[in-house]
Amino acid sequence: MKNNLLSERLVYTGDTRTRTHLHLVRYTAEKVEESSAETFEEIRDHLAGGGIRWLQVHGLEDTETVRHVCEFFGIDFLIMQDILNADHPTKIELREHDTVVVTKFFHNDDDAQVCLVQGVDFVLSFLERESPLFDDIPQAIRDNILKFRSRPSDYLLSVLLNSITANYATRISRLDNELDDLETDLLSSTDNRETGNRIQELRHHYLLLKQTVLPLREQYARILRSDSELFHKSVRPFLNDVNDHLQYAAQQIDLCRETLASLVDLYISNNDLRMNAIMKRLTIVSTIFIPLTFLVGVWGMNFRSMPELEWKYGYAMAWGVMILVGVVVGLFFRKKEWR
């Protein structure tokens, strides 16, 4: 990773090629205005006026659009770099005039970055890729659910964070179901050769969740303890609700860790049992052939005086004795339930 203090260029470090576009929702207690645009210049005029402004930026490939948005709202250069750094660790930063949240969300089996910046009368959301993560919030604003439009910007921030934690809960629930299916497969008699790969894949998903949710839970305490004027007393219950969801998600991740560990042990035990069964079969085969090898060895000796060698039915008798010995030994193991 290069030193970001040695360059004034903004560079998007991710590999998602979502075309950069913007969607603005500006609302007051009386009305809601919405507009969309491909560039910041097309939407600049709609940002004027009163009310709360929520500007969504989808796709971070166009770094100049990100720069113009941040400069308009007074966001400094280091935060711009954090927004464009797709590998930035989860963080919550409380500043004098705004609050910055950098974290991840999950879309299908991939993770992507989401950044939230909250000011007195605005909230900016930067999504690395197109996602339905916040799709139901504009409708809630239009319907003025829970007097949405009469509340300050930190309430909008809490709603956005709630959607992110709901995304975590959905992904954790999916992981839990996949672990249950894997447990069913391991407990069945089916010899699934792909089980090891599935365990590694689920372990990867678990680590992504852990690296996202646990740091956010720890960082979120900063918001709960903050005495900033950006957070109002009337919104505290909603912020606490987000914390409850984060705590629940963290607990579920711990349960997934324990389940995953037990499934790994079960997988290893199944492999040991399968290996024991193979060794048992090989032992049976070897034991059956031990007396046969002895008989063949005896009759293969080059002594002159071996009466049965000159006997007309000696060859047939030898075969009969070997088959009889093999059958007797096999029946013995079958009676002992060695299969």
CA distances from 205 to 51, 72, 168, 212 (A): 40, 38, 12, 11
* pLDDT for 193 beyond 70: no
Decide: 49 and 26 in contact? Cβ < 8 Å: yes
Residue 1 has pLDDT above 60, yes or no: no
Number of Cβ within 10 Å of residue 98's Cβ equals: 23
Per-residue pLDDT of 138-188, as tens digits, reads 999 999 999 999 999 999 999 999 999 999 999 999 999 988 888 888 777
pLDDT at 148: 94
Environment class of residue 109 by beta-carbon count within 10 Å: exposed (0-12), middle (13-18) or buried (19+)?
A: exposed
Q: What is the pTM of this model?
A: 0.81
Task: Answer yes or no: is 254 within a domain.
Answer: no
* Residue 309: Cβ within 10 Å count: 13
- Mean predicted lDDT score pLDDT of the chain: 87
Each residue's pLDDT tens digit, 27-74: 999 999 999 999 999 999 888 878 999 999 999 999 999 999 999 999
Q: Which of 117, 150, 183 is the last residue of a domain?
A: 150
Instruction: Determine the Cα–Cα distance for residues 151 and 226; give it in Å rounded to an integer.
Output: 19
Domains in the chain: how many in total? 2
Q: Does 219 fall in a domain? A: no
C-beta separation of 33 from 26 below 8 A: yes
Range of the domain at 50: 1-150
Q: Which residue has the tokens 């100049």?
A: 64
Cα distances (angstroms) measured from residue 303 to each of 127, 297, 318: 90, 12, 17
In a domain, 43, yes or no: yes
Last residue of a domain, one of 150, 165, 199: 150
What pLDDT score was predicted for residue 3? 56
Residue 106 tokens, joined: 């999950």
Q: What percent of the chain has pLDDT over 70?
A: 94
Which one has a higher pLDDT value, 319 or 66? Answer: 66
Of 150, 170, 192, the position where a domain reaches its end is: 150
